Amino acid sequence: MSTPLRASITAVGGYVPETKLTNFDLEKMVDTNDEWIKSRTGISERRILKEPGKASSDMAVKAIEEILRKKHLDPMEIDCIICATVTPDMVFPSTANIIGDKLGAKNAFGFDLGAACSGFLFALTTGSNFIETGRYKKIIVVGVDKMSSIIDYTDRATCIIFGDGAGAVLLEPTTDGLGIQDSILKSDGSGRDYLHIKAGGSLKPASVETVMAKEHYAFQDGQPVFKFAVKGMADVSAELLEKHNLTGDDIAWLVPHQANLRIIDATANRMGLPMEKVMINIQKYGNTTAATIPLCLWEWETKLNKGDNLILAAFGGGFTWGATWLKWAY
Ligand code: UT7
């Protein structure tokens, strides 16, 4: 039997801005403290893109340029750029278009994909499906968010959690059995009330009133999101393992969305995985939304071995959630 055509990740790039926003900085801005933030979320600091005139596309370009350098790749060889983000440079055109222009990837078509914190998984699965058609050879999937552009730094419910960053992967075809094996993706729009931006869309266009009411900032009702996230991320990861008769012993690494250390703990527990097999960098970067998972892959790249089974798992606004099983290809 011939091995099916699959997509494998053949390179990873990442970028986080230099400016750090620590828990101690936040103590001076809102009624919070380092102890509370660390014990409730696991976060100590996050990165903020401070430079005026810089946007999500600039972070994405930096992450992708690392891939181009590592692979000695000409931007003209890229077939497609899929950008997962909730903080596009502009409402339109898509940030993927802007990234393509800044990179000089003139042969690539591109589009943005909005699935909030699950955006990277949704985009990875989409890119992988394009590769499996046999028509595309090199696809960039980038998860990027400049969360600082939609955070109200007087709202302690959100400002302690989010940070800025970008992570990207290159997808290429393979028939060696490695690469992306399967994904289970889920959406439930009834969750939109708990995590959203109220104004600036077609429902409630931006106006002086909406800005005065701070409705252009991200709103989160943390507790219900937390409950859905714990259940959603753990359930879908367990479902993916069961579907393929895998157990925690078969898995080399869990790569979870970094929203809250307690959600990560619950997911690892449910999968029967010790914490040594879980990628965690939430303490340094906070929740970078679409960038958390590729930023973990970026940081752990040198520790990964060919053939390692990885489970990528996410939960986010929408609600959206999902898990992907892949075999590391290099
Ligand atoms: O990534 C996309 C999906 N998002 C998530 O997965 C996030 C899910 N939610 C969470 O991670 C958590 O709900 C938060 C970290 C946002 C909040 O943690 P929590 O344990 O759910 O806190 P809470 O909202 O239930 O508040 C507990 C207490 C309250 O005080 P009382 O009523 O018990 O006296 C809050 O007023 O902590 C208080 N509190 C704070 N105290 C210090 C809430 N926020 C803060 C704060 N600093 N920043």
List Cβ neighbours of 250 (8 Å cut-off, separation of 6 or more): 309
Q: Are 12 and 63 in contact, with CB atoms under 8 Å apart?
A: no
Please choose, from the candidates 158, 238, 248, the residue with its C-alpha nearest in 3D space to the C-alpha of residue 194.
158
Fold match between domain 6-180 and domain 181-327:
yes
**Is the link from the previous residue into 93 a cis peptide, with omega within 30 of 0?**
yes
Task: State the distance from the centre of ligand 1 to the C-alpha of 117, rounded, in angstroms.
Answer: 18
DSSP 276: G
- State yes or no: is 117 an active-site residue: yes
DSSP 328: -
- State yes or no: is 296 an active-site residue: no
- pLDDT tens, position by position, 281-323: 999 999 999 999 999 999 999 999 999 999 999 999 999 999 9
Cross-strand pairs, 6: 174
* Atom 41 of ligand 1: nearest residue by CA position: 32
Q: Give the separation between CA 327 and CA 59, rounded to whole angstroms.
A: 27
> pLDDT band at residue 29, thresholds of 50, 70 and 90?
very high
* pLDDT, position 216: 97
> pLDDT band at residue 3, thresholds of 50, 70 and 90?
confident
Q: What is the CA 131 to chain-centroid distance, rounded?
A: 20
Better-predicted residue by pLDDT, 288 or 3: 288
Task: State the distance from the centre of ligand 1 to the C-alpha of 223, rounded, in angstroms.
Answer: 7
CA neighbours closer than 13 Å in the CB half-sphere of residue 269: 8
Element (H, E) at 211: helix 208-212
- Would you say domain 6-180 falls under CATH 3.90.79.10? no
In the predicted model, what is the mean pLDDT of residues 240-244? 97
CATH no. of 181-327: 3.40.47.10
Say yes or no to pLDDT of 113 above 70.
Answer: yes
Q: Are 8 and 174 in contact, with CB atoms under 8 Å apart?
A: yes
Please choose, from the candidates 164, 173, 184, 154, the residue with its C-alpha nearest in 3D space to the C-alpha of residue 50.
164
Q: What is the CA 127 to chain-centroid distance, rounded?
A: 14
Of 257, 260, 281, 296, the catalytic one is: 257
- By CB neighbour count within 10 A (0-12 exposed, 13-18 middle, 19+ buried), where does 245 fall? exposed
* pLDDT, position 1: 58
Helices first, then strands: H and E counts in the chain: 11, 13
Q: Which atom of ligand 1 is nearest to the CA of 229?
A: 6
Cross-strand pairs, 314: 322
- pLDDT tens, position by position, 148-173: 999 999 999 999 999 999 999 999 99
List Cβ neighbours of 78 (8 Å cut-off, separation of 6 or more): 100, 103, 105, 107, 108, 138, 139, 140
- pLDDT tens, position by position, 224-239: 999 999 999 999 999 9
Please choose, from the candidates 59, 43, 47, 46, the residue with its C-alpha nearest in 3D space to the C-alpha of residue 18.
47
Q: Which residue has the tokens 């507790």?
A: 223
Pocket test residue of 228, 260, 267, 285 for ligand 1, highest count of atoms within 8 A of CB: 260
| Per-residue 3-state assignment (H helix, E strand, C coil) for 133-173 | CCCCCCEEEEEEEEHHHCCCCCCHHHHCCECEEEEEEEEEE
Site residues for ligand 1, CB cut-off 6 Å: 32, 36, 40-41, 117, 156-157, 160, 222-223, 225-226, 229, 259-260, 263, 287, 315-317
Task: State the distance from the centre of ligand 1 to the C-alpha of 43, rounded, in angstroms.
Answer: 13
Task: State the distance from the centre of ligand 1 to the C-alpha of 68, rounded, in angstroms.
Answer: 40
Q: Which atom of ligand 1 is nearest to the CA of 259?
A: 1
Of 117, 196, 281, 296, the catalytic one is: 117
Helix (H, G, I), strand (E, B) or coil at 12: strand
Q: Are 320 and 190 in contact, with CB atoms under 8 Å apart?
A: no
Q: Which atom of ligand 1 is nearest to the CA of 41?
A: 15
pTM for the whole thing?
0.97
Angle between helices 95-103 and 56-71 (to 10 degrees): 50
Average pLDDT, the chain: 97
Q: Which atom of ligand 1 is nearest to the CA of 257?
A: 1
Domain layout of the chain by residue ranges: 6-180, 181-327
Pocket test residue of 223, 236, 263 for ligand 1, highest count of atoms within 8 A of CB: 223
Q: Are 75 and 315 in contact, with CB atoms under 8 Å apart?
A: no
Could you tell me what percentage of the chain is helix, strand and coil, using 3-state DSSP and rounding each to the nearest 5? 40, 25, 35
Q: What is the CA 285 to chain-centroid distance, rounded?
A: 12
